[in-house]
Chain A
Amino acid sequence: MLCENCGKRPATLHFTKIINGQKNEYHLCEQCAKEKGEIFSSSSESFPFHHLLSGLLNFDQMVEEHPLYTNPESQRCETCGLTFSQFKKMGKFGCSDCYKYFELQLEPIFRRIHGNSQHIGKVPLRSGKSIKLKKELSQLKAILQQKIALEEFEEAAKLRDKIRALEHKISESRG
């Protein structure tokens, strides 16, 4: 989940706050929460920022309630075991799956290094083919769901055949 304030960094702080009997949920990244904290403390609700994060707002409880809560530093690649803070120290990944596990944190890093985060160059011939086919497959499956929902069963049956053929092709291209 992305920070609802900046929309760029992963939200790592999730909490609810009750103002005038109105319950509000917050999902913020650390940086935005800090910035907001200054606003909070200088406004009429004059309590320091660290209170905001601790007991007062049931932060700990909210952390448990939110399955999405992750401390980015301790995030770990399940495949090779590298943590994000280890990655930051070394500047090197441990395996290709690290890219998936650290995806959210990496986006700004790629932008800083390359000014970009999306590959537009060469695609490998063999696995590139199956990437294309997989895209096609997920499109067909989406259409199939629509047809079933609309009870157009004849169309759906045709689509199912197409999907089966495509799946066969994909498993073959993997060789």
Chain B
Amino acid sequence: MAVERYLQNAISDWMCDDGPESDIVISSRVRIARNLKDHPFPLLATDSQANAVINKVSETIINGKMKQIGNFDLILLEDLNDLQKKVLVEKHLISLNLANESRKGAVTLSENEAISIMINEEDHIRIQCLYPGLQINQAWEMANKIDDILEKDLDYAFDEKRGYLTSCPTNVGTGIRASVMVHLPALVLTNQMNRLVPAITQVGLTVRGIYGEGSEALGNLFQISNQITLGQSEEDIIRNLHGVVNQIIELERQSRRNLVEEKRFQIEDKVGRAYGILSNAKIIDSKEAAQRLSDLRLGIDLKMIKGISASVVNELMVMTQPGFLQYIANEILTPEERDIRRATIIRKKLLEIK
């Protein structure tokens, strides 16, 4: 089945290359929302109306001018079991909303998994482009190009005054959500996030933890994205995000330097303990794993740990998520069983490298 190849590896091909600023920025993503004219939004569409949208859009993507971008596979969500859906969510290839809410959802994925076009999510079309490191401009350019190609064959719901019309009023206008995933262990350790988050919010951006609930960010991973979609051009939105992320990178680097200068032993101890526990533990829950992996990654970035690449940590971060663990095990696991599996996977991976 076509979907298997997208589930095998925890880390997508596009993530294997290091992007710019990859010691802090994990990935950049641009998602744009589009809808077809004269079709009810997915929320109110009947099954046959929703199927008509899938046929129309996927036909354009798979057989149309999109060939110049690459080859795409169409995956219907109704053909997937819950575990398979979970894995796609954990790899950020589909949204939680598409996995859980959509009745007639589908996704088309590019072979390297850098491009995911969701169909019948909240909107008819959601084009998502992922790049490693800080490459938010590149992600926008690619999404923009794909949008132009699709628009040659599809009639979009567009209004001169309101722009691209979307199911939710928070996406109307440009329909763009640009986001950057950053690893900020030093800013968290020095308690600076409480001060930083309101400042980021004030310039029209939002910050949220990638894993974990609410403001709690497991593994010190945060997603920073634009909030406003109407009344600003795409270029301004991208530039604003890029500028703020550059400042955050500078702050994180400064904090890391300070930590190394003032608390080298404590940091080395933290990193060493993380490595020790991760390579020896027999049981580890997701919260501890995320924290230890973050510590390990900090050690790699600070050159305190050698011989392990940061991409291994990225990979483990996804591999130790509940969906992926169970998919690999090929069965539903209790939380206790998951904690054992999680520890095993991490141990084996770290042993492989040494």
Contact = CB atoms under 8 A, between A and B. Distances in A.
Interface of A: 79-80, 82, 90-96, 99, 106, 109-110, 113-128, 131
Interface stretch (B162-170, B270-278, B283-291, B345-353): B162-170
Given A110-B169, A119-B174, 5 more contacts: A82-B44, A93-B168, A99-B159, A113-B230, A121-B234
- Top 3 closest A-B pairs, CB basis? A116-B231, A119-B163, A96-B157
Interface stretch (B35-43, B51-59, B261-269, B296-304): B35-43
Interface stretch (B81-89, B108-116, B147-155): B147-155
Overall SS of chain B's interface:
loop
A117 B230 contact: yes
Given A80-B44, A121-B233, A122-B144, A92 B168 contact: yes
Nearest to B167: A92
B13 to A, nearest CB: 29
B221 interface: no
Interface in B86-125: 122
Interface band, chain B: 35 or more
B25 interface: no
Given A99-B162, A118-B161, A127-B156, A91 B228 contact: no
Given A99-B165, A124-B158, A119 B173 contact: yes
A126 B147 CA distance: 12
A127 B165 CA distance: 14
A103 B230 CA distance: 15
A95 B41 contact: yes
B168 A120 contact: no
A93 B169 contact: yes
29 contacts: A79-B40, A93-B166, A93-B168, A94-B40, A94-B44, A95-B39, A96-B37, A99-B172, A106-B169, A109-B169, A110-B169, A110-B172, A113-B170, A113-B228, A114-B173, A114-B228, A114-B229, A114-B230, A115-B228, A118-B161, A119-B159, A119-B161, A119-B162, A119-B174, A121-B174, A121-B233, A121-B234, A124-B164, A126-B151
Max chain B C-beta neighbours (<10 A), residue from A90, A99, A123: A99
Contacts of B156: 124, 127
Nearest to B144: A122
Contacts of B228: 113-116
A125 B169 contact: no
A93 B167 contact: yes
A82 B228 CA distance: 25
A118 B160 CA distance: 9
Nearest to A127: B158
Contacts, number: 111
Interface string B219-242: 000000000111111100000000
Interface string B195-235: 00000000000000000000000000000000011111110
A114 B168 CA distance: 13
A80 B40 contact: yes
Contact of A93 (B41, B160, B232, B234): B41
Contacts of B230: 110, 113-114, 116-119
A140 B157 CA distance: 26
A75 to B, nearest CB: 16
Interface string B28-40: 0000000101011
Contacts of A120: 231-233
A124 B32 CA distance: 13
Contacts of A128: 158
B41 A92 contact: yes
A165 B144 CA distance: 32
Which of A93, A116, A117, A121 has the most chain B CB within a 10 Å cutoff?
Answer: A121
A117 B231 contact: yes
Contacts of A127: 151, 155-156, 158
B105 to A, nearest CB: 16
A128 B157 CA distance: 11
A121 B235 CA distance: 8
Nearest to B166: A93
B173 A121 contact: yes
B161 to A, nearest CB: 6
